Structure 1
Amino acid sequence: MVEIKIFQSIFQLKKEDWDLLTRSSSPFISYEFLGVLESTGCIGKERGQVPFYFTLWEKGSLRACYYIFLKSHSYGEYIFDWAWADAFQRAGLPYYPKFCSQTPFTPISDLKLLIHPDDLAFKSKFAKILQKAVSEVANKIGTSSIHVLYIPHSEKEFFPKDMYLHRKTHQYHFKNKGYNCFSDFLNGLEKKRRKQISKERNYIEKKSGLEIRQFTGGSLNESHAELWYQCYLSTIKKKMAHGYLNESFFKELFKALPDKILLLLAFRGEDLIAGSLFLYDKETLYGRYWGALEKTKFLHFEMCYYQGLDFVFSKGLKRFEAGAQGEHKIKRGFLPERIWSAHYIENQIFRQAISQFILDEGKSLEDFFEVIETKMNPYKKRSSDVKKS
């Protein structure tokens, strides 16, 4: 007999239990990452983002979890539904609160339905039980919708189309084709792209007067978090954006996950100029944040892409996820990847309208992918590709 328990804090669960469920996931749904978000006040009722951990237990043992957040806004999602919220408001209907399953402020395709390794064969069964529990709570609260963002391809089937609208968006990812170093990567590019990247790197190395220092693992300390936070704030101010994360978050994160963090800081002498922050696991480097106190030509490319690629090659990683937005990434070896989300809309009239919007959006996206592949792909064409053209 299974039992459903709902918790609103990660600290109500045991770390060893959570670690079993997330053993093959990214650092972003680790006990440490979620715990630091919570303990430093970056999520919670006052921030309009309350965690709900729908857990499934059997004989007193945690067997599965579906994590989701009750939100009073759409900040930090990067799969945008502001237009939907505006349409609800103009019709005199509340769009918030809504349920949203996504690691806060993190556009990473992580598992949403976490299953104990001994129960993977029961994932479909557990998924239905947990989703029913979420729907019941959503009805009691009166949410307008349930959104599941950044679904891995392996989980799409657990969010059936008779209930959820499936939406396609895109991000830019680098897939390592067996490159051992940056020069191997350059040799795989078309001549024009190769020359431009070499020019950009040469400028930073020989003409910028900057020194880029790398910190990870034991070399990270609290002073680095303080320096990094200056960079983070500079981006927030320039973009007039919301600062989702505070200085305490970065300090605690550097303590909790030092072996999953890569921090790059650029200095001119001892003066801080810029920084970029990444997280990584055994297979993937995740580019997350960038900030500059002083504008320097080509520095963004160096610190957000090229230094990251150097790290990928040195660690033998398979992927580098550079996030959404910015077609300039294509020229630098990052190609678009389809990203999936699922959306349950309670109001049937709005569901039909949003369904059509998603359909049209998806067609435009496929046209975009065709243009990228035929006209903008920076990699050398294989002989078989030349024959086809």
Structure 2
Amino acid sequence: MSEPAVSSIKLETCQSISDIPRETWERLAGTGNPFLRYEFFEALETSRCTSEATGWTPSHLVFRVDGEIAGIAPAYLKTHSMGEYVFDWAWADAYRRYGMEYYPKLLLAVPFTPSQGPRLLLHSKLRDLLDARRLHDFLDTLIARLGAHSWHILFPNAQDQALLEQEGQLHRIGCQFHWHNRNYECFDEFLAELTSRKRKSIRKERRQVAEQDITFTRFDGQDISDHILATFYVFYQATYLKRGQRPYLNKAFFEQLRENMPEHLHVIMAVKDGEMIAGALFLSGKDTLYGRYWGCLDEYNHLHFETCYYQGIELAVELGLQTFDAGAQGEHKLVRGFEPMLTHSWHGVAHPGFHDAIETFTQEEAEQVMGYYEDTKTVLPFRQKDGA
């Protein structure tokens, strides 16, 4: 690609992943991250999980340079804030109280997935041409054209954050807890890194699950039968129905993942008296295991921790993955060896008055989050190298 002028960069949107050639998407996004796979977004759309009816209208960004696609970004016009995990309900409520519309908004994110990763999938030469001011200007112009009132980029990685960093822009931080594989050969090697008290606590939890005559079976990719998938989906639905919500994802979505990207899929089922009683679905990437979907019908002592965390750690070790991202929130992960990490989001709000008010909010929120982040690091269960 020859060196283009900034004026030759054009930003447009398309209404379906199918409007972008698969080979172009894969060239820019790669295939190592399951949440950036063409097949993942295709499954969301063809299963109708992301559609105008669900409030997730696909509006994927396409950057063109001299007419050729040089960048893309998964994006949606949203009419609500559900399924995002960066909560702006208070912002929407403030707009409503002043008689103003907050929605639609333009969301650059992976739907229903609070996982950090690339969001701006740009050719290196295009990335070099853009800076924060130009990128923000492009997005501000785009939302005006789309009739949206704001734009939001959720959970971008460090490379995207560097491109988004600009004084006066709205930047939010959050805190998650991830497990890190320090070349462990087995679960016991991980436990050996913990204090004696924490080792005993985790072993006790695992023992109490086993004493309930619960065992675990793993199924990978195409070995996930229709029966296994249907049973898992019952458990997954239950997680939402217990909270009075409808699940974000339908069974057809999971069926398409199994058919089109099976190498990323793993299901762990808890079994008691020959019957499956709970299940968790994991996706594996190039260096990270993602635990995202879980459910059970009845409550068993420590079953959630075992199925979602300890079984996940064992899977990450077996697959040789360096990080286990078990989802958003969850302070209880700390004592089980998950370490705090900061997450980020960037926001562009068209209304100047609300922009200023939200900027004050994000600055105050950041101070609180940073304090919390530093506090959590003081209670990690890892022992000193010269201690027990």
Fold similarity call, TM over 0.5: yes
How far apart are 1:351 and its partner, in Å? 1.4
Which amino acid is 2:118 matched to?
Answer: L
Which amino acid is 1:373 matched to?
Answer: K
Mapped pair 1:379 → 2:386: no
Report the more deviating stretch, 105-114 or 266-275. 266-275
Mapped pair 1:186 → 2:191: yes
Aligned to 1:80: 87
| 2:119 paired residue among 112, 116, 124 | 112
Aligned to 2:333: 329
1:265-289 superposed Cα distances (whole Å, 9 cap, x missing partner): 1122332210111111120001101
How far apart are 1:204 and its partner, in Å? 2.0
Equivalent-residue separation in structure 2 for 1:323 and 1:343 (angstroms): 22
SS in 1 for 2:242: helix
1:13-48 superposed Cα distances (whole Å, 9 cap, x missing partner): 221211111116521121100000000000111111
Mapped pair 1:157 → 2:158: no
| 2:178 paired residue among 173, 191, 194 | 173
1:201-237 superposed Cα distances (whole Å, 9 cap, x missing partner): 12223x1112211011231232222111100111111
> What are the equivalent positions in structure 2 for 1:89-238 lying under 5 Å apart?
89-116=96-123, 120-125=124-129, 132-162=137-167, 164-205=169-210, 207-238=211-242
Aligned to 2:368: 364
How far apart are 1:61 and its partner, in Å? 4.2
How far apart are 1:132 and its partner, in Å? 4.4
Which amino acid is 1:312 matched to?
Answer: A
Taking structure 1 as the reference length, the TM-score comes to: 0.92
Aligned to 1:45: 52
- Residues 59 and 324 of structure 1: is their aligned pair in 2 closer, same or farther, counting only changes over 3 Å? same
How far apart are 1:67 and its partner, in Å? 2.6
How far apart are 1:370 and its partner, in Å? 2.3
Asked whether the equivalents of residues 25 and 111 of structure 1 are also in contact (C-alpha less than 8 Å), the reply is no
Mapped pair 1:6 → 2:13: yes
Equivalent-residue separation in structure 1 for 2:63 and 2:359 (angstroms): 32
Report the more deviating stretch, 49-58 or 334-343. 49-58
Unaligned runs of 5+ in 2: 1-7
Asked whether the equivalents of residues 174 and 319 of structure 1 are also in contact (C-alpha less than 8 Å), the reply is yes
Asked whether the equivalents of residues 176 and 330 of structure 2 are also in contact (C-alpha less than 8 Å), the reply is no
- Residues 225 and 131 of structure 1: is their aligned pair in 2 closer, same or farther, counting only changes over 3 Å? farther
Equivalent-residue separation in structure 2 for 1:245 and 1:18 (angstroms): 23
Taking structure 2 as the reference length, the TM-score comes to: 0.93
Identity of aligned residues (%): 35
Please report the RMSD computed on the Cα atoms of aligned residues, expressed in angstroms. Answer: 2.0
| 1:272 paired residue among 269, 276, 280 | 276
Equivalent-residue separation in structure 2 for 1:70 and 1:268 (angstroms): 44
SS in 1 for 2:174: strand
Unaligned runs of 5+ in 1: none
Aligned length: 380
- Residues 286 and 112 of structure 1: is their aligned pair in 2 closer, same or farther, counting only changes over 3 Å? same
- Residues 111 and 182 of structure 1: is their aligned pair in 2 closer, same or farther, counting only changes over 3 Å? same
